[in-house]
A = this chain, B = another copy of it.
Amino acid sequence: MEQSTHDDAHGCGAATASRTCGYLSRQSSARWIPTGDQIRILRDLYYNYGLRSPSAEQIQRISAKLRQYGKIEGKNVFYWFQNHKARERQKRRLTTDIRGSCFVGDGAGWSGIEPAAIPAVEWSNRWAIVGQEMSAPGRALETLPLFPTSAQDEVEEGSATAGISNYGVEKAFYCCSGGAGTGASLELTLSSFFYEPPSSV
């Protein structure tokens, strides 16, 4: 789900290819295309190490390290973490997933159900090490907690959120739509689900 499309499937990094891919897969991509190894490491840092907002120094080191797997700049690492974090959060907000599963963990997928990517046991080993070494005042790994964000976050939905006043629809240009005859149903539609509790069906 994550980046199954890319990963290394763009004929770049591949598993053994190991070409100085990075940025270009065939021409001047102008846009960074992470290799499989790069992604793997980044994900490892994110999930297994809880790194979510690397500092400048961290980014430097990470990008420097990842450079051996392909062309990469600091900003790429920076953006990667930004995006990954943001999208994980967004997923939470958009998903109507209200299942009372055990751990939401570091979920990585809209489905909310991730095929046990990171066995929690794995961490303990590393965490321990990192933990003791990290005598620094809560730095480096911003979020050390095994469970990034408590589920307390998305519980707030469902009740209020009744600020239905305006749903961002301010400028409605009744132009293009040819089948304007559906207007009625639209209003009905809008009101129906805009006033309905988010409880699915």
A interface residues (Cβ-Cβ under 8 A, vs B): 13, 16, 18, 20, 37, 40-41, 43-45, 47-51, 53-70, 73-75, 77-78, 90-91, 93-96, 110, 123, 126-127, 129-134, 136-141, 144, 148, 151, 155, 157, 161, 167-190, 192-194, 196, 198-201
Contacts and interface: CB of A to CB of B under 8 A. Distances in A.
Nearest to A167: B58
A67 B110 CA distance: 16
Interface of A (DSSP majority class)? helix
B61 A187 contact: yes
B90 A53 contact: no
B43 A177 contact: yes
Contacts of A65: 141, 189-190, 192-194, 196
